[in-house]
Amino acid sequence: MVNLEWYRTFKSVYKNGNFSLAAKELFISQPAVSQQIAMLEAHVGYKLFNRKSKGVEATDYAKLLNNLIIDALDRLENVENGFRAKAFNANRLISVGISRHLMSSLGSVLLSKFDFIDFSFHKNEALFELVDTKKIDFAIVTQQYDTFDTIQKKVGEIKQIIVSSATIDLTDVKKNIEKNDLLGTEQWLNEQKWFSYDARIPHIKVFWLHVFNKKRPSMVPNYIIPSEYEMLEILSKNTGIAVAWNVNATTFIANKKLQLVWNSPQMPATDVFLLSGKNNNLSAIFESIALELMAVLG
């Protein structure tokens, strides 16, 4: 039976011309090297090395054997190293940057796939800078970047919608929306209690700009909770409305904790990207994360 360790030891002795150096390279004892070479010689039926005062000298049979096995052995070791790298990558600590508003809906889906993740919360520009300077491995962003040192892949789309607590009667506003009565719809919305994750209400302003063609809504937020998912959780237990990403609101709506007020066709979708530095050691993890995100954003 072929013992690959014999050939691995043979390769090291042949290269180093010395049993002691081969032992150090292979992290085994010198007697173990001598024993494996002796067993290989018995297996092939030829003497492979002649001892000298300083090391050993390969015989002609050893030179022939080396020519026959070296390519195959190198290929096998490359496969082994690649397998070990993938196994290491599956269990290594990875660092992922993400907006705090998308953590619960997108970041949390990675927990079942990886054993060790270090999350950090930043906005798009800061996330790009951290990836570009190799301070974090990956970032989930809503803006496209095109640089030589990073790779980026679209993993889906998200969209801003208006949701309300389950206690609000939506009959009137639904009629206004159905009739395309923007004035009546806006008036109804302005009369509600508003929840926001930012006092500057940038997400609400964007909605008003696309849907009502106004740069600034006349409403002001009643309650400001600086994490969108936490905002929705609190909204579901109180009375009011909010603009939120559909990916965050989906579960609340499905569980009847919130209601969908308006998914306006005038509100464009926003692309979501996975960003990483160019690093072959991370390529397998990159694709794995992308698949998990696409399954959610599908």
Give pLDDT tens digits for 222-256. Answer: 999 999 999 999 999 999 999 999 999 999 999 99
Domain 160-262, second-level architecture: 3-Layer(aba) Sandwich (3.40)
Share of the chain above pLDDT 70, in %: 95
Please tell me the class of the 4-91 domain: mainly alpha
pTM above the 0.75 mark? no
272 is written with which tokens?
Answer: 């979501």
pLDDT of residue 91: 63
pLDDT per residue as tens digits for the range 164-217? 999 999 999 999 999 999 999 999 999 999 999 999 999 999 999 999 999 889
Residue carrying the six token digits 């993890």: 285
Q: Which residue ranges make up each domain of the chain?
A: 4-91, 110-154+274-297, 160-262
Asked if residue 27 has pLDDT above 90, the reply is: no
Express each pLDDT in 66-115 by its tens digit: 888 888 877 877 766 665 555 445 567 899 999 999 999 999 999 988 98
Which burial class, exposed, middle or buried, applies to 74 when counting CB atoms under 10 A from its CB (0-12, 13-18, 19+)? exposed
pLDDT exceeds 70 at position 280? no
Q: What is the mean pLDDT of the chain?
A: 91
